[in-house]
């Protein structure tokens, strides 16, 4: 049994999206049993990007008791139903990775098996016609449907989100200290972090430190040297330029990822503006050329100066080391392509809540935490590599390089299994479900050579009724949805609790 002790002193270093998500969640769930302090430096500021999310963010907000309309108003958020990938398989080709499911699975086989069998029986409707979220996105429609039938995430202003969470964290008992961390002081005996020393010599002592200092990784790497696994041989893009512009048209409920000859560009529509950026590999494109390309393709007025970002892809070898946990960019970065970074913050924070030490940190907790985080990261890594590796593009040195690179065995197995049999399996609560893998693998150009024989058990009339019933249901549902932009305005104005 734990003996009554003074509350665990938790110190969060950094106040970007990671810092304030961590502080808000800890304050909300563990407020009375911890003493929570967050240190951030206004002079250093935050990375200022990270606006596209994935559906589990709904869960995070609900866990914190956040009213969705209030959150959307505060962060100028729009709904997101997926990502449009343009020029990835080949120049001029497009496909959509939508949230939710496509068609209807049988317990023994995913819907793709029935669809492929249908193709041989003269049912030529594209796979996309069976995906509700995809069709809603294409027509820019959205509404909350009963039983959460339309699965969605958000596109939001990350600075406003951090500010919104800050209010909640402070209301929940977190203390915010403004100042620059000048030194991380270690305990001479244990080697753990003892305190953060700020400019002016103010010391902040703690028992558990959460490193949310972004790419600087001041605590986990700067002080504790947890190590870094470089993944740039799989993720060669190492630079980005971001810029915000005024909106020139109503916001659509999806993010665009538009490939170019040395990387890709994003467009993320919010209520009050649009987020734009270019991701590129500096080996193949100079900063000047990247900026020129970005500026030539953006719409609307530039609202800020371009934000130039350099990074190295990879992960911190130990996400939790001694009495310090890396959350956010300090723990690693793979790239923004599938909007997974904020989700990884969420996963880490919820794990910290579950594994909060009762006094001294347990090595078993550390090992468990690191294994779980690492599994998440490896699975996401594989999914990201898929977008580059499986392509028909050979039109530039960048695409020739990524198409020919060696890939992890885990991904090679997944690709070949799908190519041979049409099957995909989700293991260890993997973030990306079967539908995601199928949409991206087919979108990038893999067509399975066979499919599950259960599909052929449907008699021709049954197959026709099954497929047309699904298509009609999707089309009818989408036709009944209101315009996304108008819905967001109404919903935020009404502030109905959800
Ligand atoms: P930061 O925002 O950099 O915050 C670091 C904090 O530490 C700041 O408050 C800073 O002031 C503080 N700090 C640093 N040093 C000191 C010091 N010495 N003393 C005191 N304070 C200090 N993720 C998504 O999920 N979706 C996306 O669409 C997406 N797009 C991205 C695009 C790009 C180009 C990049 C690079 C990342 C993107 N990400 C995205 C990732 C996302 O931006 C981050 O995961 C998220 O913003 C969290 O960042 P952070 O809080 O870890 O770091």
Number of domains in the chain: 2
Which H/E stretch holds residue 162? helix 158-171
State the pLDDT at residue 4: 55
Check whether residue 202 and residue 303 sit in a common domain. no
CA of 214 to the centre of ligand 1 (A): 5
Q: Which residue in 144, 122, 135 sits closest to 58, CA to CA?
A: 144
d(CA 261, CA 284): 9
CATH number where 165 lies: 3.50.50.60
Which H/E stretch holds residue 474? helix 460-479
Q: Which residue in 164, 206, 179, 220 sits closest to 35, CA to CA?
A: 206
Check whether residue 227 and residue 318 sit in a common domain. yes
Counting ligand 1 atoms within 8 A of each CB, the residue from 82, 158, 213, 338 with the most, and so the one to mutate, is 213
User: Do the domain assignments include residue 464?
Assistant: no
CA distances to 17, 98, 157, 174, 272 from 275, rounded to whole Å, are 16, 20, 9, 31, 10
Check whether residue 172 and residue 228 sit in a common domain. yes
Q: Provide the domain limits for residue 161.
A: 8-51+157-232+313-361
Check whether residue 345 and residue 325 sit in a common domain. yes
Q: How many CA atoms lie within 13 A of 79 on its CB side?
A: 28
State the pLDDT at residue 1: 43
Looking from the CA of residue 330, the nearest atom of ligand 1 is 52
User: Do the domain assignments include residue 76?
Assistant: no
Q: How many CA atoms lie within 13 A of 413 on its CB side?
A: 6
**Per-residue pLDDT reduced to its tens digit, 182-204:** 999 999 999 999 999 999 999 99
What average pLDDT is seen over the chain?
95
CA distances to 26, 342, 392 from 328, rounded to whole Å, are 15, 7, 34
State the Cα angle at 232 between 227 and 234, rounded to 5°: 120
Looking from the CA of residue 54, the nearest atom of ligand 1 is 25
Is the pLDDT at 257 greater than 70? The verdict is yes
Percentage above 90 pLDDT, the chain: 93
**Per-residue pLDDT reduced to its tens digit, 13-44:** 999 999 999 999 999 999 889 999 999 999 99
* Stretch 106-135: mean pLDDT: 95
pLDDT band with cut points at 50, 70 and 90 for residue 496: low
Percentage above 70 pLDDT, the chain: 98
CA of 108 to the centre of ligand 1 (A): 42
Looking from the CA of residue 18, the nearest atom of ligand 1 is 51
* Contact partners, residue 183, CB within 8 Å, separation at least 6: 196, 197
Number of C-beta neighbours around residue 318 at 10 A:
24
Check whether residue 223 and residue 161 sit in a common domain. yes
User: Do the domain assignments include residue 162?
Assistant: yes
pLDDT band with cut points at 50, 70 and 90 for residue 167: very high
d(CA 401, CA 399): 5
User: Do the domain assignments include residue 322?
Assistant: yes
State the pLDDT at residue 361: 85
Counting ligand 1 atoms within 8 A of each CB, the residue from 329, 339, 349 with the most, and so the one to mutate, is 329
């Amino acid at each position: 049994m734990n003996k009554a002790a003074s509350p665990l002193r938790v110190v969060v270093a950094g106040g970007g999206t990671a810092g304030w998500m961590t502080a808000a969640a800890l304050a909300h769930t563990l407020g009375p049993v911890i003493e929570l302090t967050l240190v951030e430096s206004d002079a250093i500021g935050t990375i200022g990007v990270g606006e596209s999310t994935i559906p589990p963010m709904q869960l995070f907000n609900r866990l914190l008791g956040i009213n969705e309309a209030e959150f959307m108003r505060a962060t100028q958020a729009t709904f997101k139903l997926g990502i449009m990938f343009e020029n990835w398989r080949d120049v001029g080709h497009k496909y959509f990775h939508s949230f939710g499911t496509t068609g209807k699975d049988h317990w023994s086989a995913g819907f793709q098996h029935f669809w492929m069998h249908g193709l041989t029986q003269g049912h030529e409707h594209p796979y996309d016609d069976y995906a509700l979220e995809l069709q809603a996105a294409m027509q820019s429609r959205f509404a909350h449907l009963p039983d959460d039938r339309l699965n969605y995430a958000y596109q939001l202003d990350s600075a406003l989100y951090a500010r919104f969470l800050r209010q909640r964290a402070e209301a929940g008992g977190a203390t915010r200290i403004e100042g620059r961390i000048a030194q991380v002081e270690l305990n001479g005996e244990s080697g753990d972090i003892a305190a953060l020393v700020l400019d002016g010599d103010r010391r902040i002592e703690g028992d558990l430190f959460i490193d949310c200092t972004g790419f600087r990784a001041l605590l986990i790497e700067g002080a504790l040297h947890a190590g870094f696994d470089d993944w740039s041989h799989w993720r060669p893009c190492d630079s980005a330029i971001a810029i915000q512009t005024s909106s020139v048209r109503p916001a659509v409920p999806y993010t665009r990822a538009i490939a170019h000859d040395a990387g890709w560009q994003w467009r993320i529509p919010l209520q009050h503006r649009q987020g734009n950026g270019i991701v590129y590999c500096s080996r193949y494109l100079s900063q000047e050329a990247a900026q020129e390309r970005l500026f030539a393709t953006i719409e609307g007025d530039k609202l800020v100066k371009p934000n130039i970002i350099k990074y190295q892809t990879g992960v911190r070898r130990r996400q939790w080391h001694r009495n310090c946990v890396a959350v956010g960019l300090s723990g690693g970065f793979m790239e923004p392509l599938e909007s997974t970074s904020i989700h990884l913050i969420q996963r880490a924070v919820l794990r910290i809540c579950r594994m909060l030490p009762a006094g001294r940190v347990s090595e078993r907790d550390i090992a468990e935490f690191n294994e779980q985080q690492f599994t998440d990261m490896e699975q996401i890594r594989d999914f990201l590599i898929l977008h580059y590796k499986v392509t028909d593009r050979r039109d530039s040195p960048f695409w020739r390089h990524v198409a020919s690179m060696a890939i992890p065995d885990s991904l090679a197995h997944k690709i070949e299994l799908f190519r041979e049999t049409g099957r995909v399996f989700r293991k260890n609560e993997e973030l990306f479900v079967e539908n995601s893998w199928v949409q991206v693998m087919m979108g990038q150009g893999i067509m399975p050579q066979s499919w599950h024989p259960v599909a052929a058990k449907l008699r021709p009339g049954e197959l026709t009724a099954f497929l047309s019933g699904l298509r009609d249901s999707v089309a009818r549902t989408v036709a009944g949805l209101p315009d996304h932009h108008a819905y967001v305005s109404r919903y935020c104005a009404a502030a109905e609790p959800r």
